[in-house]
Amino acid sequence: MPVWNIIQAVNDALRIEMRRDPRVVVLGEDVGKFGGVFRATNGLFDEFGPDRVFDTPLAEAGIIGAAIGMALYGLKPVPEIQFADFIYPAFDQIVNELAKFRYRSGGQYPAPVVIRTPYGGGIRGGHYHSQSPEAYFVHTPGLKVVIPSNPYDAKGLLLSAIRGEDPVIFMEPKRIYRAAKGEVPEGDYTVPLGQAKIVREGSQVTVLCYGAMVHTVVEAVEKVAAEGFDPEIVDLRTLLPLDSETVLASVRKTGRAVIAYEAPKTCGYGAELSALICEKALMHLEAPIARVAGFDTPFPYSLENEYMPSPDRVAKAIRDTASF
C-alpha cells in the first residue's frame, strides 16, 4: 500500500471520482494548469482537460454561485476555495443559497456541491492564510462539514462527500497537508460521513479533536501517557452530522472531557460539544469540561505558535482535567 500525504490522497480521490463519474468537474482559482497552489488538483487538467477542470477568474462568489448552477443542472462540481480565509466573498452564496436551495424549493432543487478549502494555521500565513471558519458553516442548516486529519480519511471522506446528495464544506488541514503521511489503499473506498474514530483508547479522560489538532493532541497524549495518564482520543472527522453516540459513549466511560480546536474559543465548535455533553452526559462528569482553543483574537503572524493550542497546552488541560 502506498504511503501518501493528504494532498496526494485528496488528489487521488478527485481523480478516481472524475474517472468514475463524468459529471464531476473541478473549478477554482489556479486549479487547472498550475494544479492548485497546494497541488491538490495536480494533473487533473492534463488528464481531464479544459472541459472538466476550470481555472476561474478571481471571484469566490462566482465560483460558488456557478457551482450551484452546475449542480442544479446535474453536474457534480467540486469547487476549490484557495484558502478558507477567502471564502467570505462567497459567504452569501454558501449560507443563503447553497444551504437553502433544497429546502426553499420544497426538495425540488438540491445542490450537491462539495467545496474543498484548506484551513488552519501553522504555515506562517498571518491573518489571511490561517483561519478556521468551520463554526460558521456548522451553524448553517443544510451544510455538512467534514474535516479529515489523515490521508486515509481524506480520500475516503472526500469520495463519500462527492457521492452524497448534499452540499459539503470539506476543510483540509493545510498545516499537515504534507506532514501527515499514512498508508492509503490505491483503489476506491469510502469513509462514511458522520462517523468519528477512536484514535487511542483510554480510560481516564476523553480528548475530542479534529483536523490538524488531532496531531497536536497525539503529541500531547504521548507526553502525559509517559507520566501515567490514560486519555482516549476521538477524531470527530465529520462535524455535521456529528457522531454524538461515539462522543457521548466515550465521555460516559471516562467521565472527563477535553476539547481541542484551533479556531477562536468563543462560539467555536467546542462550545457545541461542551453543550452536548452537558445536556446528555452531565451526571457522568467528574470534572469540568476543558476547552483548549485559539484565542479570541485575529490570527497572528509572528506569534502563531503561541496562538494555536500547543501540545503543552493540551497536555496541561489533560492533566488538570484528569486530576480534578
Partner 1 sequence: MLVSARPPADDSLFSLLDDDGQVRPGSRVPEVSDELARKLYRGMLQVRVVDERMMRLQRQGRLGFYMLSIGEEATHFAAAALRPADWIFPSYREPGAAFWRGYSMTDYVNQLFGNAEDPVKGRQMPVHHSARWLNYVSISSPVGTQIPQAVGMAWAAKISKKDDVALVYFGEGTSSTGQFHVGMNFAGVFKAPCIFFCRNNGWAISTDQKHQTAARSFAVKALAYGFPGVRVDGNDLLAILAVMEDAVARARAGEGPTLIEAVTYRRSGHSSSDDPSVYRDPNEPKEWERRDPIDRWKRYLGTRGLYSEALEEQYRKEINDEVSDALAHAEQVAPPAVETMFDDVFAELTPELEEQKRYLLSFPRYVNPHGGS
Partner 2 sequence: MDDHGVADPDRVPSLTPEDWLRIYRGMVLIRVMDERLMALQRQGRIGFYGEARGQEAAVVGSAAALAPQDWIVPALREAGAGLYRGLPLRTYIAQIFGNANDPASGRQLPCHPGTRASHYVTMSSCIASQLPHAVGMAWAAKIKKDNSVVLGYLGDGATSEEDFHVALNFAGVFRPPVVFVCQNNQWAISVPVAHQTASPTVAIKALAYGFPGIRVDGNDALAVYGAVKEAVDRARSGGGPTLIEALTYRVSAHSSSDDPSRYRDERITETWRARDPIVRMRAWLAFQGFLDAAGDERLRADLDAEVRDAVAAEESVPAPPLRTLVEDVFAEVPQFLADQLAEIATLPRQKLGGAHQ
Contacting residue, 19, 33, 104, 127, with partner 1 by CB under 8 A = 104
Q: Minimum distance from CB of 54 to partner 1 (Å)? A: 7
Cell triple for 238: 465529520
Contacting residue, 166, 235, 262, 304, with partner 1 by CB under 8 A = 166
Among partner 1, partner 2, none, what binds residue 166 when CB lies within 5 to 8 Å by partner kind?
A: partner 1
Among partner 2, partner 1, none, what binds residue 106 when CB lies within 5 to 8 Å by partner kind?
A: partner 1
Q: Minimum distance from CB of 241 to partner 1 (Å)? A: 4
Q: Minimum distance from CB of 27 to partner 1 (Å)? A: 9
Question: Taking Cα atoms as reference points, which of 120, 122, 114, 123 lies closest to residue 143?
Answer: 114
Give CA–CA dist 194/71, Å, rounded: 23
Contacting residue, 14, 75, 224, 317, with partner 1 by CB under 8 A = 75
Give CA–CA dist 269/147, Å, rounded: 12
Which residues are identified as catalytic? 129
Q: Minimum distance from CB of 58 to partner 2 (Å)? A: 4
Contacting residue, 242, 257, 273, 281, with partner 1 by CB under 8 A = 242
Q: Determine if 295 is a binding residue for partner 1 (CB under 8 A).
A: no
Q: Which residues bind partner 2 (CB under 8 A)?
A: 29-30, 32-35, 37-38, 55-59, 61-62, 85-86, 88-89, 122-129, 174, 177-178, 265-266, 295-298, 300-307, 310, 312-313, 316
Per CB under 8 A, which region of 38-46, 103-111, 126-134, 210-218 contacts partner 1?
103-111
Give CA–CA dist 26/318, Å, rounded: 42
Give CA–CA dist 285/22, Å, rounded: 50
Q: Determine if 54 is a binding residue for partner 1 (CB under 8 A).
A: yes
C-beta closer to partner 2: residue 190 or 310: 310
* SS3 labels along the chain: CCEEEHHHHHHHHHHHHHHHCCCEEEEECCCCCCCCCCCCCCCHHHHHCCCCEEECCCCHHHHHHHHHHHHHHCCEEEEECCCHHHCHHHHHHHHHHHCCHHHHCCCCCCCCCEEEEEECCCCCCCHHHCCCCHHHHHCCCCCEEECCCCHHHHHHHHHHHHHCCCCEEEEEEHHHCCCCEEECCCCCCCCCCCCCEEEECCCCEEEEECCCHHHHHHHHHHHHHHCCCCEEEEECCEEECCCHHHHHHHHHHHCCEEEEEEEECCCCHHHHHHHHHHHHHHHHCCCCCEEEEECCCCCCCCCHHHHCCCHHHHHHHHHHHHCC
C-beta closer to partner 1: residue 102 or 174: 102
Q: Determine if 52 is a binding residue for partner 1 (CB under 8 A).
A: yes
C-beta closer to partner 2: residue 20 or 124: 124
Among partner 2, partner 1, none, what binds residue 281 when CB lies within 5 to 8 Å by partner kind?
A: none
Q: Minimum distance from CB of 279 to partner 1 (Å)? A: 11
Among partner 2, partner 1, none, what binds residue 30 when CB lies within 5 to 8 Å by partner kind?
A: partner 2
Residues interacting with partner 1, by CB under 8 A?
A: 25, 51-52, 54, 56-57, 59, 61-62, 64-75, 77, 89, 92-93, 96-97, 100-110, 141-142, 144, 164-166, 194, 240-242, 244
